[in-house]
Every structure is written in structure tokens, then in C-alpha cells.
Chain A
Amino acid sequence: MSAMNDLSLSIDHLEGQAQLALYVETRFSVAAIEGDEIGAPLVLDLIGAEVDGDYVLVYQEFAGSLPPNVAVRNDILRDIFPEQINHVNIAINQSVHSLIFKDKDAWKSAQLTD
């Protein structure tokens, strides 16, 4: 199989982690909501990824202040596992707003104020 000898498949290696970070980048987006419209996805800066025990952490950053109302989309792994359920926690100061992405879910809105 062509997959042999491919370092990019190992999450233990920098290349595998980078591949995963790039994969997440294409499947996780945040966009501003203006009125009833979902704007173009914000450009998030991909910082990197690291492994911690059973977890992989992917870091993205947005320079500047976020708009008060945003839409979030999380398609991570849902293209491969139809039953995948994604969970997004949005933290603002002491409060958390959670979004769940499953089945046919696409954009979901969230308020970024307390």
C-alpha cells in the first residue's frame, strides 16, 4: 500500500501533526454575522498542533477583536465518520457557550458577549 513509509501518517511526528493542523484548518471556521447574513470566514492564523496523551491540540489565532456575533462551523472528521459529533465550547470570561455539530449541521451562531 502506498501509505507505507509515510511519516505524515504518524501523529508522533511533526509532519503528521502539521498535516492534521492543515486538515482542521479546512474544516473549522468562524465567520461574522452582520444582520442576518453570514459573512466570509475570518482568516485564522494556524499556529500549530501538539499531542498530549490521548489528545491532539490544534491552535488557531485571530488577530484583532472578534465581532460580537459569529457563526461557527465544525466539519472535523464528519466527512470520514458519519456519526462523528463535534463539540465546540466558546469561552467568554466566566461563561461558556457550547455548540454541537452532528448530522446535517452546518453554520451555528454564537454571541461573543457575556
Chain B
Amino acid sequence: MRSRPLIHVLTLVTLLMAVTASADAIRQTKAPHYDAFRQLDVDLPTPNVYRTASGAPGTQYWQQRADHQIKVTLHEESQSITASQTIQYTNNSPDTLRYIWIQLDQNRFAEGSRGRVTAASSEDVLSYGALAAEQRHADVAHGFSIDRVADNRGRDLKHTIVDTMMRIDLPQALRSGQRTTFSIDWSFNIIEESIIGGRGGYDHFPENDTYIYFLAQWFPKLTAYTDYGGWKHQQFLGAGEFTQEFGNYVVEITVPSDHIVSATGELQNESAVLTAEQRRRLNTARSADKPMFIVTPEEAIENEREGATQTKTWVFKADNVRDFAWSSSRKFIWDAMNHKQEGGEFDNVLAMSFYPQEAEPIWSQYSTHSVVHTLEVYSRFSFPYPYPTAQSVNTWKGGGMEYPMITFNGRRPTPFEADEDDPDAASKPERTYTRSDKHGLIGVIIHEIGHIYFPMTVNSDERQWTWMDEGINSFLQYIAELEWEENFHNHRENYSILEHIAEYMVSENQVPIMTQSDSILQFGPNGYTKPAASLVVLRETVLGRELFDFAFREYAQRWRFKRPTPSDFFRTLEDASGIDLDWFWRGWYYSTDHVDVAVTGMREYKVSTADPDIELNLQKQKRAGEVPETLGQIRNREEGRVMRADRFPELNDYYNKNDEYTATNADRNKYQTTLEGLEDWERAALDRAAVDDDFVYFVDFHNIGGLVSPLPLLITDVDGNEEFLMIPAEIWRRNSVAVSKMLIRDKAIASIQLDPRRETADANFSNNSFPSRVVKSRLELYKGEDDTRNMMSDMLQMLREEKGGADDSKAVPLEETGN
């Protein structure tokens, strides 16, 4: 999922983390040493026959299976749906089950649900949105009405509803390898998504009183039963998403006859629901290399004016999916094109988009292309797209949500008159859209279609670990965006995902990535951006593209249509890359350390020949080079002043002829003794060094942020030649706080810059150079842009005058009752 554009407000900087290894059995109890490289073995679950120590599914890996047949009818007049469904449940676990848990996700919206009751409120402020939601809940009962639960012979089954879950007691225990079939009849009132807030519902267009229906978490489905957690009964509170079982679905959807339906899977009865012309166009689209209309914008506008009293039933079939969603409206424009691929279950994938005219013009231009672009990029990193269709549906104004083969995506351009002088408004005759409309739409579609790989196919447990789907997916989204066009994120030159995450990572009260979904404090940076940034660092800097891409693809392929846990990911990336990454997982995933390494010093040396006749002379030259002659002495000479010692030659002795840099016999004897004490190879090394005449440097690094990091260095010599040197993170293995690195160079080094390409997520670049350099803050950079700043200050002034200083707070006026 991708939430509505939120405003990240971070006021930043750096902290020296007091590092504690709190729950470790092994603790350093005397000096404050922290072993950043201690292996994670003791912290990860013990490998077993289901999950191996190398991160692969074990020899006896199992998962349950749930096949669904659903008949559902949409009632437009009452904004509700009714359905009857049959579930066939296969127990592949080694365990015997006496009861089955069903998820009733719609109950999150029911009166008294745990999610609603436990929602905390801020201040004593009631927003108009919150008031409208409360009023709607009072007017309309939400949540499932479960009318009947019966076995396959029609006998009622005892069932108990516990908030968003339902337990069905089985008359006979279900043994390993057995299957059971049961049916549920149910109905519910569809929420108006913009009022209540959720991942599905309906969207109302008051301008012309039309609707888009988009149904998600809409049917009772099997709770996952897993080898690592048994029944996954973490109630649905809203944030933590889903833990699902795979199965085959046949869904018959009955809607008004003028609706177009988009759904998980493939349409089975084209001839019953599409016109001959629509079928002809659809067939053309199946081999088209660019989007073709099946329903044109003009036809959609015509459709939405009418209304139908008849119904049609659309039949969809989807194999091996972990969920099913659908959308229906008479407003839909529909386009499609073919995505060709090799080596997978499907050589041809039908990429489609469904959207109302309010979403134009960006949807017909960008949506289906974005779908195909995602399939191209993600398949390269994982496996060929495993389904026959991939769909993008415009169901709301902002945000996005993913399901197998179908995604619900936001972005409708706000129409406004094009300002001719504004280069940011892409001009169109009738409508304009902004740069962020375009990039926001492409970005959200990449993200949601990308989720069909992670977690719809690589079936991680979202309720438990947000980062396993959102983080991994945001990482691939970033890659796909960079491959859409250069400077994709070009609100500012050279935007990098690593820059802003550092501002989050320095904060004191963040939680580690390895935190359960519903307890995460800052969902966006924690579950999405930080893990995505970590994988960028891992790919581009720690492992390199070749090793990373092989290991990542191995993870995706091992766990395709299976259920990985975090340790399976950590272990596979080590196992397949051949690099110990425990320090990386420990720092990025199990701690709240951040990256801030400082270059604190650099000292220059030459290898000494130890020969006093050479060395003392060198010292003399060096001293002369470093310290100028005393000014008074120079001026005396210039004045032609004659020294006393010159006037009285008898005052001159040994010391007048030899200075402190003259070698004595004692010095020479000591040198001979030293040489005689050397082994032959040591003598050879010393002689070689005398010939090479290299410079020797010791560069000091201080790890301020705590997270150990590779050290990419840009070394510039006195002639301006640049050399790039990558020191792996293992340099910190004996001391994770301060290390020194020796460098031998034939030319003197003029400067050293740490992380010049900004690839480590370093939080503070003002301490990355020796000699130190001034790095401008964002505020200073902004203030330096005179034009921008002047225009902004004029605009602020103008708006202030318009408002007359009034606070246009959108809170409902409240008055104390005195009670």
C-alpha cells in the first residue's frame, strides 16, 4: 500500500548513540566495547526441516491451501453486496486441526471493532472529516453480516466471531493431508472510502452523481496457518496488512448491465458481457505494443449518463493467488496492451487500465505503460511475471493498494488554467497536469504493480513485517523509477533516497526495522524508506550489482509462491552472495544506529632510511621548509650588520661549524648496529623503501552514528590526480568506533573525502573531508537561490495580506458544556 501523500516534517541532525546490546545472551560487561560483527545465529530462529540455515525452503516445507468459489451481487441502490461462497481448505501441515480461523476484514469498520475502539484521538479537536465519519457510522451499519455457515452437506457449522476473526468448529478434526469444504453466506454495506477511510469501498462523484466501486478485504477468507506462528490471529487494526494463503478462485460478479468490471484473474465469459466491438478491440490489444482502447473516453462519458435496470454477471478465474479484488463502474475508460516475456508460465501478459474521465489526460498516457515498465524491470530482478493479467484501476484521488493481478491507484489531476509562464505545467488544450501528477502516477503504479511480485507472489507476512513487502518493493520501485527517465525525481537536481532517510535515522525515538507492523511509530520512513535505502547501499556499495542481483534473484525464486520470513531473506542474501552480512542486518534492521563517519585526522610520514647522514639532513631541510628564518636575523643581514662572532674569530668552535643536524660518530655507530640487527628480508624492504621514497599516511575515522559502514574514499594528490578507494566495512571489525587506515602513495596527498558519491546514507557531510570543508546546509542552499527566495517571500506576503492573519483552521467549533 502507499498512503495518501503525507508531509514528512523532520527537523534534523546527529547523535552519538550510546550503544547497548540489550537482550543478547553474550554481553560485554566491562569496557563499553560493542561487537558490531557478532554473528546473528543466536538471534535468528533455529533452522529446521521447513526453513534451512541457508535461507531456503526446507525438505518438508509446507503451506496450507484455500480454494474459493464466490457468487456476489452489487446492489447499487443500497450500496451493499451480498454473496455466497464455498471454501475448500487443504491441511498440508503436519498438525491436526479441530477448528479453522476465518478473517473477517470488513469487521474493522463495525461498531465496537478493536481497531475503532482503540483509535486514540489528538487534543480536544474534532475535524470535519472525523465528524462526518462518526455520522456515517451512526447512519449505516458496517461490517459483515454472516447469515450462514454450513458444511458441504448443508448442515450448520458452529462459529464464533471474535472481532475481525471467526472460528469455525469442525465436527471432525482435520488431519494432515485432509481437506474440508464449507460455505458462508454473507452481506455488508460498502463504506464510502473518502469518508470512512480504508482500502476498498466506493468513490462518489457528486458533480454528476456517479460511482466507482472497488472491493477489497470483501470476503471471508482463511486465516494463515504457518510453521513459525500457527494461526496468525493478529486482529486487523488497520496498519498491519495481510497474511494470506494461496488458492484458486472462481468469482461470479453480478453488476448493473452497463458496468465494466476489472478483477483479479481472467475474464471467462467475454461474449456474455462485452459487445462484439469491445471483443474485437480486446483481441487487437492482446498483441498490441502500445495501449489500445476497449472502451474509449467518448463511450465512457456516454455510459455514465445512462443507468441500467438489467444486470450482467462477469465470471473471473484466478489460479494460485493469495487474494482477490475487483472494481466496477459505468464510468470506466478501458485500455490494454500486451507485455511479451520469456521463460515464465505466460509468454503474453495483458496489461490493462480502467479509469474515469476525471483521471484524464494522464491515465491514458501513462497508466498502462507504467504497468508494462514495472513488469519489465521487476522480472529482471526476480522471475517472469507469474500471472496472465496486470491491471491498474483509478479508484480514488490519492494513494494506492495492491492485489493479485489488480491494483487500485490514485492521482487525478486537479484541473486548472495553464499559466503560460509556468514551465512546470504540461499544457494540454483542455486540461493541464503538474509534474507531481505525472511522476506521482507513474510512481504509484510501479509501486502497486510491483507488489504483485512482493508480497503477492513472494508471500511474506505483511501483518508481522511491513518492510518485507513495502521495503523490498520501495527499493525496486526506486530502481524502476530511475529507469523510466533520467532525473525522474527532478524536483531538485540529483534527488537520492539516501539523503532524507539519514534525517530520520538520526532521531532518538525511532524503532528498529524489525518491529511488528502495528507498533511502528513512523510508518513511512521505517517500513518503506529505510529498508529501501539499506538495499540501495547493499547493492551499489556493499556487495556491488553483480553479487547483489544474483543473491536477490535467488531469494525471489526460492520463495516464489511460498512464505518467507526475515531470516530467510537475511540468510539467502549471505548464502548466495558469499559475503558475511550479519553486521549489515544487525546495524540496519536490528538497531536504530545511523551512518555518520568522520575523517578526524591524517598524518604524513616517509619511511626512514635510519642513516643519520641522510635523515638528519632531511630533517634540516624539512625544518627549513616549515619554519621561516627569524625576521630580525634577515633584517640584520640586510642592514649589513656584522655579528660579534665574525668580528672575534676566537669565539667560533665546533658548534659554529656543525648544527644539531650534523651526524655524530655515535649516530653512525648506532645506525650500523641497527642494520646488523635486521634480517635479510627486512634489510631488503628498507632498501626498497629508500628507492621508492613513498609517502606513508595514517587516516583516522570516527564512527559517530554507530552503524558500521564501508568507507568510499576520494584521494586527491598534490597534482590534482584523483583516486577512488573502497574500504569494506570489515575495517571496523575490532573497533567499531575509531579506526585508522594506512595508505602508502608515491605522491603526497592533498585531500581525502569520505563518501564523495553520497552512497552510504551518511547523515553529516560536514565532517567527511580532510582538510575539513564547509558543507552548506539545506537552508543555506535555499537562501542562496535568490530568485526562488524572492518569489517565495512576495507570495508569502501576498497570502498573509489576503488572510489578514486569520487562522483558517478546519476544526469543528466546540464549546465546553461546563459538565
Contact = CB atoms under 8 A, between A and B. Distances in A.
Interface in A43-59: 46-59
A5 B788 CA distance: 23
Contacts of B129: 80
Contacts of B415: 4-5
Given A4-B414, A5-B417, A103 B122 contact: yes
B495 to A, nearest CB: 4
B792 A14 contact: yes
Contact of B12 (A47, A91, A105): A91
Given A4-B416, A76-B7, A48 B122 contact: no
A3 B415 CA distance: 9
Given A50-B788, A104-B123, A106-B123, A21 B503 contact: no
Nearest to B797: A18
Nearest to A76: B9
Contact of A77 (B7, B491, B503, B809): B7
Interface in B488-539: 489, 491-492, 495, 497, 500, 503-504, 506-510, 521-522
A76 to B, nearest CB: 5
Interface residues of B, number: 69
B14 A94 contact: yes
B7 A53 contact: no
B9 A58 contact: yes
B9 A74 contact: yes
A113 B356 CA distance: 56
The SS class assigned to the B binding surface is: loop
A15 B7 contact: no
Interface stretch (B280-288, B691-699, B777-785): B777-785
Contacts of A57: 778, 782
Given A47-B779, A52-B495, A89-B10, A18 B792 contact: yes
A49 B14 CA distance: 23
A59 B416 contact: no
B397 to A, nearest CB: 11
Contacts of B810: 79-80
Contacts of A11: 5, 436
Interface in B390-431: 414-417, 419, 422, 424
Contacts of A95: 13-16
B435 to A, nearest CB: 5
Contact of B796 (A21, A83, A88): A21
B774 interface: no
B416 A90 contact: no
Interface residues of A, number: 66
B799 A12 contact: no
A100 interface: yes
Interface in B783-806: 783, 788-789, 791-793, 795-796, 799-800, 803
A94 B120 CA distance: 35
A46 B811 CA distance: 24
Contacts of B5: 11, 54
A42 B489 CA distance: 35
A113 B807 CA distance: 33
Interface in B4-26: 5-16
Nearest to A102: B122
Interface string A1-25: 1011111011111110111111010
A87 B796 CA distance: 25
Contact of A91 (B13, B492, B799): B13
A87 B507 contact: yes
Contacts of B13: 89-92, 95-96
A85 B419 CA distance: 36
B416 A6 contact: yes
B436 A51 contact: yes
Given A10-B414, A12-B434, A77-B7, A22 B793 contact: no
A82 B779 contact: no
Contact of A47 (B14, B509, B783): B783
Contacts of A36: none
A107 B5 CA distance: 26
Interface string A52-70: 1111111101000000000
Interface of B: 5-16, 119-125, 127, 129-130, 206-207, 414-417, 419, 422, 424, 434-437, 489, 491-492, 495, 497, 500, 503-504, 506-510, 521-522, 704, 778-779, 782-783, 788-789, 791-793, 795-796, 799-800, 803, 807, 809-811
17 contacts: A17-B792, A18-B796, A26-B809, A47-B792, A52-B500, A53-B500, A77-B7, A80-B129, A82-B127, A85-B522, A86-B9, A87-B504, A89-B12, A94-B14, A95-B13, A98-B509, A106-B123
Interface of A: 1, 3-7, 9-15, 17-22, 24, 26, 28, 46-59, 61, 74-80, 82-92, 94-98, 100, 102-106
Given A13-B422, A50-B491, A54-B500, 14 more contacts: A9-B414, A12-B434, A47-B789, A52-B491, A56-B8, A79-B809, A80-B129, A87-B522, A89-B503, A94-B14, A94-B16, A94-B704, A96-B12, A96-B13
